[in-house]
Homo-oligomer: A and B are copies of this chain.
Amino acid sequence: MAGSGEFVVGLDLGGTFLKYALGTLKGEIYHKGKKPSKGEESKEAIFGVIFEAIDECIAIAKENGGSVVAMGLGSPGAVHFDLGKLMGNTPNLPDWGDADVKGTIEQKYNIPIWADNDANVMTLAESRQGAAKGCEQVIAITLGTGIGGGIMVNNQIYRGTNYAGAELGHVSIDYNGRPCNCGGTGCVEQYASAPSMVRNFVEKLTKNSTPVPENVTTKTIFEMAAKGDKDALDTIDETCVTLGSALASIVNIFNPQMIVIGGGVADAGEEFMKQIFNVVKKRAISPALKGLKLVKAQLGNDAGMIGAMSLAAEMYEMKK
């Protein structure tokens, strides 16, 4: 039962789907849903989908004798946390750019909502209910098309002065290295993201005049490595060295309790996690390694909506 009938809604907006959940302030989920997010359409169309999800959750809260007291939303892109507004472009949601999440939703529902970047929301979810439950200093990274990051210090998400911090994919591992889309040089995203892994692998095959299989993905690489393919194994080794090197610097900076790795590439499994951690252990300073754990994210695709629920619940309790 929800304590005093108070419910929260967590919304996880992506380019393809909006995932959402209704739950208690303590994080128990009453109801989950998923709708096409209309990410390619107008801001109004996307808000329309969000409204449908909220309406559904409010109705279910009512059926359960309660009401929605706060909402949270995780979104791709940079989010001005105090204003609840998107800042600048959002890849995959071309018209979502400067969406006023807080203004639009609070005006319609008169229920407070907090919006945050999706990597921050995932970090919050893993720290409250997932792999890093109970930890106050957590580094989370997502390995996918890009490398995203979230930082929890002293039990709170760290966002930076202009909400532009925690860009852990843009930690440089080589000051003379590959140019990055961000304008930087040698960013780890250029070495250890999914497309970079594929590029590294294809380069090796081409160099050896080995035929390149069609539609290579990181899954292909891990499958071929499992069969002992040397190029695939070397590609994975290099990914671990480059990612581990960036993480070692991050460990020397934060001395965290836990590193959580999520995103599609992390599904490669425990052996991959172990291999990354071995590089970190070899490269970071020993006092900062004491007690450190490196683990795979636990909440998978639910992390966004769970984190958005946690955000809503925590901000609601704080402002009360």
Closest chain B residue to A149 by CB distance?
B253
Closest CB in chain B relative to A228 CB, distance in Å: 26
Q: Is the CB of B287 within 8 A of A183?
A: no
When distances are taken between beta carbons in the complex, the residues of chain B under 8 Å from A282 are 183
State whether A285 and B242 are in contact (beta carbons under 8 Å apart), knowing that A172-B249, A249-B249 are contacts in the complex. no
When distances are taken between beta carbons in the complex, the residues of chain B under 8 Å from A154 are 154, 156, 158
- Chain A, 146-202, CB within 8 A of any chain B CB: 149, 151, 153-154, 156, 158-168, 170-176, 182-186
When distances are taken between beta carbons in the complex, the residues of chain B under 8 Å from A211 are none
Q: Is the CB of B174 within 8 A of A252?
A: no
State whether A175 and B175 are in contact (beta carbons under 8 Å apart), knowing that A78-B287, A288-B160 are contacts in the complex. no
Closest CB in chain B relative to A205 CB, distance in Å: 23
Q: Is the CB of B162 within 8 A of A288?
A: yes
Closest chain B residue to A282 by CB distance?
B183
Closest CB in chain B relative to A293 CB, distance in Å: 11
Q: How far is the CA of A172 from the CA of B246 in the complex (A)?
A: 7
Closest 7 CB pairs of A and B: A160-B255, A165-B255, A164-B287, A175-B245, A167-B252, A164-B288, A170-B252
Could you list some 14 contacts between A and B, CB below 8 A? A137-B161, A154-B154, A159-B255, A161-B255, A161-B256, A161-B291, A163-B255, A164-B288, A165-B252, A167-B253, A171-B252, A172-B245, A172-B246, A172-B249
Closest chain B residue to A292 by CB distance?
B161
When distances are taken between beta carbons in the complex, the residues of chain B under 8 Å from A167 are 252-253, 285, 288
When distances are taken between beta carbons in the complex, the residues of chain B under 8 Å from A209 are none
Q: Is the CB of A175 within 8 A of B242?
A: yes
When distances are taken between beta carbons in the complex, the residues of chain B under 8 Å from A164 are 255, 285, 287-288, 290
Residues of A that sit less than 8 Å from B by CB: 78, 87-88, 136-137, 149, 151, 153-154, 156, 158-168, 170-176, 182-186, 241-242, 245-246, 248-250, 252-257, 282-288, 290-291
Known contacts A167-B253, A171-B253, A186-B245; 16 additional CB pairs below 8 A are A87-B287, A136-B161, A137-B160, A154-B154, A159-B255, A162-B287, A167-B252, A168-B252, A168-B253, A172-B249, A173-B175, A175-B242, A183-B282, A184-B284, A185-B283, A250-B253
